[in-house]
């Protein structure tokens, strides 16, 4: 069966420090991968999506970037965190048949 | 641009009341439509989905949704809610024409009073 792993679950980082959140999927190949930020009253804001290795589409201009170095690995990064980067980040995958999305456990990021 | 609107941000109902949550999407092509639910402290999970065929789809736990193409709507309904339906509900859309953007609405927080 397919599973998705996202870590860490919580993270506290100082302003100006780098960020790396990792997401891996098991049990499937060539998934579409997504990074979302969830905020109260704003739903799930799509940040990045990827349809293949090295293929990244950015939805919102911001201080973050994403990479997909392997088929089932999706990384969310920042060189210098801002206070406004605090939030709850979710990774998700779905098959390339545009069907159900499956979510990781999420990462609560607090920038201090 | 592809977008999803959920009109109700907070809904409070008593048990046994009927529920309808609105969802409208904006996209010129063909889409697949979804409702997800997030119970307190849990992951998002799929409630129901529409790909094609009968526009009235039934999901888990007695939920159903109706796709009205002319109105670009996919409203969620349940005839009689229970306290355990307290959760946040998200409508989502993905185009079938290859843009691969899985877009979610802002969510509706439902609280059911026992």
* Confidence category of residue A67, pLDDT binned at 50, 70, 90: very high
Question: What mean pLDDT is reported for chain A?
Answer: 91
Closest CB to A51 among B9, B94, B100: B100
pLDDT (mean) for A58-82: 93
A98 part of contact set with chain B, CB < 8 Å: yes
Taking the C-alpha atoms of residue B14 and residue A15, their distance in angstroms, rounded to an integer, is 45
pLDDT (mean) for A15-42: 91
pLDDT (mean) for A26-37: 93
Contact state of A34 with B44 under an 8 Å Cβ cutoff = no
Nearest to A30 by CA among A51, A44, A11: A51
B108 part of contact set with chain A, CB < 8 Å: no
Taking the C-alpha atoms of residue B90 and residue A48, their distance in angstroms, rounded to an integer, is 19
Contact state of B104 with A36 under an 8 Å Cβ cutoff = yes
In percent, the amount of chain B with pLDDT more than 90 equals 75
Q: How many Cβ contacts (< 8 angstroms) between chains A and B?
A: 56
Higher pLDDT, A101 or A99: A101
- pLDDT score recorded for residue B28: 73
**Residue A70 backbone phi and psi in degrees, to 5:** -135, 165
pLDDT (mean) for A52-76: 92
- pLDDT score recorded for residue B11: 96
CA B102 to chain centre: 14
């Amino acid at each position: 069966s397919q599973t998705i792993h996202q870590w860490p679950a919580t993270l506290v980082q100082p302003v100006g420090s780098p960020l790396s959140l990792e997401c891996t999927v098991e049990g499937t190949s060539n998934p579409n991968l997504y990074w979302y930020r969830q905020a109260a009253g704003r739903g799930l804001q799509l940040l990045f999506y990827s349809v293949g290795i090295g293929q990244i589409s950015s939805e919102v201009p911001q201080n973050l970037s994403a990479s997909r170095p392997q088929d089932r690995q999706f990384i969310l990064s920042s060189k210098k965190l801002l206070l406004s980067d605090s939030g709850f980040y979710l990774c998700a995958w779905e098959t390339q048949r545009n069907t159900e999305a499956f979510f990781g456990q999420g990462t609560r990021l607090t920038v201090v | 641009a592809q977008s999803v609107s959920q009109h109700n941000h907070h809904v409070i109902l008593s048990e046994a009341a009927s529920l309808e949550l609105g969802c409208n999407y904006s996209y010129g092509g063909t889409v697949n439509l979804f409702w997800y639910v997030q119970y307190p402290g849990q992951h998002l999970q799929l409630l129901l989905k529409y790909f094609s065929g009968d526009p009235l789809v039934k999901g888990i736990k007695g939920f159903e949704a109706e796709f009205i193409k002319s109105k670009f709507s996919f409203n969620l309904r349940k005839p009689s809610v229970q306290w355990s339906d307290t959760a946040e509900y998200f409508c989502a859309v993905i185009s079938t024409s290859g843009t691969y953007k899985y877009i979610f609405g802002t969510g509706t927080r439902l609280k059911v009073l026992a």
